[in-house]
Amino acid sequence: MPLPPPAPDSTCLITGASSGIGSEIARHLARRGHGVTLVARREERLRELADELGQAHAVRAEVVGASVADHDARAELAAEIERRGLTVETLVNNAGYGSAGRFQDLDPDGEEGMVRLNVEAVVGFCGIYASRMVDRGRGVILNVASTAAFQPLPYQATYAASKSFISSFSEALYVDLAGTGVTVTVLYPGPTRTEFDEESGMGSFDQLPSFLVDDPGDVARAAVEGIEAGRRSVVPGAHNVISALGGRFAPRSVLLPALGRLYPFGR
Ligand SMILES: NC(=O)c1ccc[n+]([C@@H]2O[C@H](COP(=O)([O-])OP(=O)(O)OC[C@H]3O[C@@H](n4cnc5c(N)ncnc54)[C@H](OP(=O)(O)O)[C@@H]3O)[C@@H](O)[C@H]2O)c1
């Protein structure tokens, strides 16, 4: 089993645990007896989740309020976890956000910040923890990408590119770490019922057919089963597998204008 067994001084560090997929991954890991360290900016929400998990599963649930987009904040977070006497044996890089619109109309700071969070924080945390895991001969990293990674997305140019980076980085890292006892799994969710759609300005996923929009608990279950099995990648749900295949293999000259027409900006 690639997932190190639960232990009192071992923790699963989960970024973006204050809502959506991150909260649900924390629930699935705690249900299996793993201690968790919950990280996001909205500390009050993290405390509520930590209380819930501690009571329901008798696990050690720690809270650290931080923006992981910042290099110094990541270093301080790692130091704080050490001060609390914990070893990160599972790292879940989940925090992320998107935007929607023509690139030239979007807030440049928001686009740059997205790269810092969606890309730089993932490389940063892997940089902090991968070598420590290799030294211990075990550990698990879960990086959350998106089906947006499988092709460029007009009107979500930065977001799709950021997730494409996570895909390429994680799948290569899986091979770099082969034989060390450390595994990397990349998760490719499709549209999922969280705060993401409203936060990213895409409009509500309620407009989509309901079979295309996943429950975050189901996505998290697929992710945790994937890391337990040491899988390189997880695409949850047959509809997302089809979308991934279309994104990978359809000619871009046909695909990109068709995708563009799905957005209000492209009609
Ligand atoms: N929902 C979807 O349709 C979908 C599809 C594919 C991929 N994804 C990916 O899944 C991941 C989770 O998204 P979600 O759907 O669960 O969205 P969500 O409900 O909006 O959750 C995003 C999480 O990221 C945290 N976060 C944002 N900025 C942060 C920062 N600077 N530092 C630390 N935490 C930060 C948020 O917490 P605070 O605001 O409290 O900091 C929140 O906990 C993201 O990487 C997203 O790209 C989502």
Domain that holds residue 240: 10-266
Q: Which of 155, 159, 174, 188 is catalytic?
A: 159
Residue 2 inside a domain? The answer is no
Give the pLDDT confidence score for residue 56 in this predicted structure.
98
Of the candidates 162, 247, 194, 220, the one whose C-alpha atom is nearest the C-alpha of residue 12 is 220
Residue 3 inside a domain? The answer is no
- CATH number of the domain residue 118 falls in: 3.40.50.720
Total number of domains constituting the chain: 1
- Residue 23 in contact with ligand 1 by CB distance below 6 A: no
Two tokens at 134? 């290799």
Using a cut of 0.95, tell me whether the model's pTM lies above it: yes
Residue 1 inside a domain? The answer is no
Give the pLDDT confidence score for residue 252 in this predicted structure.
95
Query: Is the confidence at residue 102, as pLDDT, over 90?
Result: yes
Query: Is the confidence at residue 163, as pLDDT, over 70?
Result: yes
Q: How much is the average pLDDT of 67-92?
A: 98
Angle at 154 between CA 206 and CA 241, to 5 degrees: 60
Residue 258 inside a domain? The answer is yes
Q: Rounded to whole angstroms, how far apart are CA atoms 38 and 65?
A: 8
Residue 94 inside a domain? The answer is yes
Q: How much is the average pLDDT of 81-99?
A: 98
Query: Is the confidence at residue 1, as pLDDT, over 70?
Result: no
Task: Give how far Cα 202 sits from Cα of 55, 67, 156, 240, Å.
Answer: 36, 23, 9, 19
Question: Of all residues in the chain, what percent carry a pLDDT higher than 90?
Answer: 92
Q: How much is the average pLDDT of 242-252?
A: 95
Residue 4 inside a domain? The answer is no
Of the candidates 13, 166, 8, the one whose C-alpha atom is nearest the C-alpha of residue 78 is 13
Residues 179-222 pLDDT 10s: 999 999 999 999 999 999 888 888 788 888 999 999 999 999 99
Q: Quick one: which atom of ligand 1 is closest to the CA of 43? A: 40
Instruction: For residue 82, report the distance from its CA to the centre of ligand 1, in Å.
Output: 25
Residue 177 inside a domain? The answer is yes
